[in-house]
Every structure is written in C-alpha cells, then in structure tokens.
Amino acid sequence: MAIRVLLVDDQPLLRTGFRLILESEPEIAVVGEAADGHAALADTRRLLPDVVLMDIRMPGKDGIDATREILEWAHTSGQQVRVLVLTTFDLDEYVVEALRAGASGFLLKDVPPDELAGAIRVVADGAAIVAPTITRRLLDRFADKLPSTRDRQPPRLDHLTEREREVLRLLARGLSNAEIARRLVVSDTTVKTHVGNVLTKLGLRDRVQAVVHAYETGIVRPGEE
C-alpha cells in the first residue's frame, strides 16, 4: 500500500514542488495539502495520513503546536501518524521544541528529492530520520534552552545498565549503530538490542527523543567528544 502523505506549508509554491517530487514515487501518495496548523489538524483527522510533512513557521497555529496536537490526537484515537518537520536550519530556532512535541525528525527544505522520499519511507516505517551529525549540531547550538541537570541525576536513568548508558552517550554524540558497534567491539544486533532497551526503559519513541533526553539529563554536554 502507498504511504499516505499530508503536506503542510504556508507557501503554495513549496507545496507544489513537494507534491511533484513525491507523486513521482510509486509507493507514496499525497492525500492533501494544508496551509497552517489548524488545517493540518483537521486534515489529519479527515484524511488519516501516515506521514505529515510539517513546516514550522506558519501563520496562526505553527508547526510545533500542530505537531503536538496531531500526535496527541493520534495517540488517543489509536491512529499511526508520524510527523516529519522541514526547516531552514540556520534561521529556525524551534526544531528542538518540535522534537519534544513528538516529531519523528527533521530535514532541511533544500533536501535532495531522493532523500526526501527516502525520509518519508523511514518515518512511515516507525524510525527517526534526523541525521546524527545534524542532531548533534542542533542540540549543541540550542542546549542553553534545555533544562539544566548539573546538580541532580534524574531517577529514570537509574534503570539503565552501564552499557546502556554508554550506548545512549554514543548515540547522542551522533554515532550510527554500526559505529557504536565498532567502538564497543560488539555486533550490530547487540547494539540494536541495547538501543531498544534504552527506548523501552526511558519510555521514548525513537532515537531522536533519546538524543534530546541525553542532553536534557546531562549524559552528554554540548561540545563533548
């Protein structure tokens, strides 16, 4: 079955461009377009897309509030909806909040067409699509907006084993599963198991939320290598 996509952007020209790109992909179907957050929420309820391609800066309800409300609705109604945020990185200071709101990741608006289509497939499959290096750069830049935990150790981290904490640190530093496996001299399968355990124990949905959580709890500090 085709992946159902809802396009949300206040610029008609961009929506048209994204539609042309995605409609050339046989397994992706654009089911609708919305110009603001209010319309995005209404269209999500009506059209039931698998992935919402969400702009952040829009008049009225912005992409952050729309993302939060869409995912809250999806959770209570039992629908499987994912949000993929598009942003102009150097100008947009709201990406961290979008990830906190539950977005499965973000891409730059000048992303190559094949990467955009690939990202939608990954997100529809339940994974995160934030490039590790971009995640690290973003969180380093906006870390001052995250809560400080210098003087306390959040109790939830007590549930992690020492190896799981190390996996979380490496994940937050931008390493892929394969790179973590090489660093720890274990198999890729073992790393996937550790990552799964971390997500389950911390009640997180995906790797993106795990990276944000690592910064919020102080496991990783901006600029650390």
Res 60: pLDDT: 87
Considering the domain 3-140, what is its CATH architecture? 3-Layer(aba) Sandwich (3.40)
Q: What is the pLDDT of residues 160-207, one digit of tens each?
A: 999 999 999 888 877 778 889 999 999 989 999 999 999 899 888 777
- Residue 136, sorted as left (phi over 0), alpha (psi -120 to 50) or beta, turns out to be alpha
Greatest mean pLDDT among 23-32, 80-89, 136-145, 167-176: 23-32
Helix segments in the chain, DSSP class H: 12-23, 37-47, 63-77, 95-100, 113-124, 132-142, 162-172, 177-184, 188-202, 207-217
Greatest mean pLDDT among 85-99, 127-141, 169-183: 169-183
Q: What is the pLDDT of residues 58-70, one digit of tens each?
A: 888 989 999 999 9
Closest CA to 95 of 55, 45, 148: 55
Cβ-based neighbour number of residue 213 at 10 Å? 23
Does residue 147 carry a pLDDT above 80? no
Question: In terms of C-beta distances under 8 Å and separation of at least 24 residues, what long-range contacts does 173-180 make, across chains too?
Answer: 173/136, 173/220, 173/224, 173/225, 174/132, 174/133, 174/135, 174/136, 175/132, 176/132
Percent of the chain whose predicted confidence (pLDDT) is above 90:
44
Q: What is the pLDDT of residues 40-49, one digit of tens each?
A: 999 999 999 9
Does residue 146 carry a pLDDT above 60? no
CB-based contact 137:149 (threshold 8 Å)? no
Q: What is the Cβ-side half-sphere exposure of residue 42, based on CA atoms within 13 angstroms?
A: 8
Does residue 107 carry a pLDDT above 90? no
Written as one letter, the residue type at 54 is M
Question: Mean pLDDT over residues 75-90, rounded?
Answer: 85
According to CATH, the topology of domain 157-217 is: Arc Repressor Mutant, subunit A (1.10.10)
Q: Where are the domains of the chain?
A: 3-140, 157-217
Res 137: pLDDT: 62
Does residue 148 carry a pLDDT above 90? no
222 vs 30, more confident: 30
